[in-house]
């Protein structure tokens, strides 16, 4: 229940806002004064880029404008979904996040055939299993207000891990192609022949999550914890929620990354247990 109470405090103000109420727009525009003031920091970064001749000004401006637009739109979308209290909207929002994450992870590993499909299935399975476990254990109630933010954190993290895993696994198999083919010639299965490459790719992909868990709170306060504290929750409640967030992200990322290695094998090997040379012939 402490998680429910903590998140209720963070979402209390949002839940009271109604876009059909004239005061909503007044409060919204007033609230946007702070992001507008924060653009001074971006202006400083652009000025430094210009002075150092980095030629990043246009990219920074585009990135900031896109972030502003995306976050503003998603704010209204979430406001709408939260007021509907419909399971269908939860599933639709979740599948949309998984689809975008699958496309992004697949683009990172372009050389992996059906990479977007592999990433999508891996992210969907890993985050779904983790989320169902949290709901069954009553860590979070199955409502849009809780499930969508939780799913977003897990999907975003799993996206990065899966993308790195696929790319690193393909690159390592290409570099050590002779060793893999030798193992296959001696009767090894694709799993046995690429065991070391799989371990290496998973280790590299999951290391940032593990290192983050080791140093959480010592170097910087994580986003969920910071948001709750700024929203009025007590530091103890914020810490309790952050522990759950760290655990669920590691769990979902591990399941997703391991699953994607299994799904990569049909793309890397033929049915005769031979390497697909067209996969490893391009850079």
Is the pLDDT assigned to residue 231 strictly greater than 50?
Answer: yes
Q: In this predicted structure, what is the pLDDT of residue 136?
A: 93
| Residue-number span of the structural domain to which 110 is assigned | 86-280
Tell whether 201 is covered by a domain. yes
Q: Name the band, by pLDDT with cuts 50, 70 and 90, for residue 60.
A: very high
Q: What is the predicted pLDDT for the residue at 102?
A: 96
pLDDT at 14: 44
Q: Residues 6 or more apart from 111 whose CB is under 8 A from it?
A: 167, 170, 279, 282, 283
Residues of the chain with pLDDT > 70, as a percent, come to: 91
More reliable by pLDDT, 273 or 62: 62
Is 245 within the bounds of a domain? yes
Residue 199 has pLDDT above 50, yes or no: yes
In a domain, 165, yes or no: yes
Name the domain count of the chain: 1
Which pLDDT score is estimated for 2?
Answer: 43
- Confidence bin at 9 (pLDDT 50/70/90): very low
CB 251 within 8 A of CB 137: no
Residue 101 in any domain: the answer is yes
195: buried, middle or exposed (CB in 10 Å: 19+, 13-18, 0-12)? middle
Residue 131 belongs to some domain of the structure? yes
Q: Residue 251 and residue 206: Cα distance in Å, rounded?
A: 10
Tell me whether residue 215 is in a domain: yes
Binning pLDDT at 50, 70 and 90, where does residue 6 land?
very low
pTM: 0.81
Closest to 256 in 3D by CA, of 151, 189, 160, 112? 160
Residue 114 lies inside a defined structural domain of this protein: yes
Class of residue 117 by CB neighbours under 10 A (exposed 0-12, middle 13-18, buried 19+): middle
Asked if residue 132 is part of any domain, the answer here is yes
Give the mean model confidence (pLDDT) for residues 116-130.
96
């Amino acid at each position: 229940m402490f998680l429910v109470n903590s998140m209720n405090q963070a979402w209390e103000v949002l839940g009271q806002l109604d876009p059909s109420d004239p005061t909503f727009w007044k409060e919204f525009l007033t609230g946007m004064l702070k992001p507008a003031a924060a653009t001074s920091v971006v202006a400083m970064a652009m000025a430094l880029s210009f002075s150092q001749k980095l030629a990043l000004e246009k990219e920074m401006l585009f990135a900031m404008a896109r972030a502003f637009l995306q976050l503003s739109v998603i704010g209204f979308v979430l406001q709408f979904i939260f007021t509907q209290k419909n399971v269908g909207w939860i599933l639709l929002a979740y599948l949309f996040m998984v689809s975008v994450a699958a496309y992004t992870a697949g683009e990172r590993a372009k050389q992996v055939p059906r990479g977007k499909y592999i990433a999508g299935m891996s992210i969907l399975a890993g985050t779904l299993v983790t989320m169902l476990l949290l709901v069954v254990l009553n860590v979070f109630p199955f409502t849009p207000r809780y499930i969508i933010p939780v799913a977003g954190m897990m999907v975003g993290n799993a996206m990065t891990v899966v993308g790195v895993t696929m790319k690193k696994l393909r690159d390592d198999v290409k570099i050590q192609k002779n060793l893999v083919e030798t193992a296959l010639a001696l009767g090894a299965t694709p799993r046995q022949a690429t065991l070391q490459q799989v371990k290496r790719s998973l280790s590299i992909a999951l290391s940032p999550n593990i290192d983050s868990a080791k140093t959480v709170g010592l170097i910087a306060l994580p986003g969920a914890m910071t948001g709750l504290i700024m929203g009025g929750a007590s530091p103890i409640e914020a810490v309790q929620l952050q522990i759950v967030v760290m655990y669920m992200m590691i769990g979902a990322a591990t399941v997703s990354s391991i699953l994607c290695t299994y799904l990569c094998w049909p793309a890397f090997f033929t049915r005769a247990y031979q390497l697909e040379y067209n996969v490893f012939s391009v850079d």
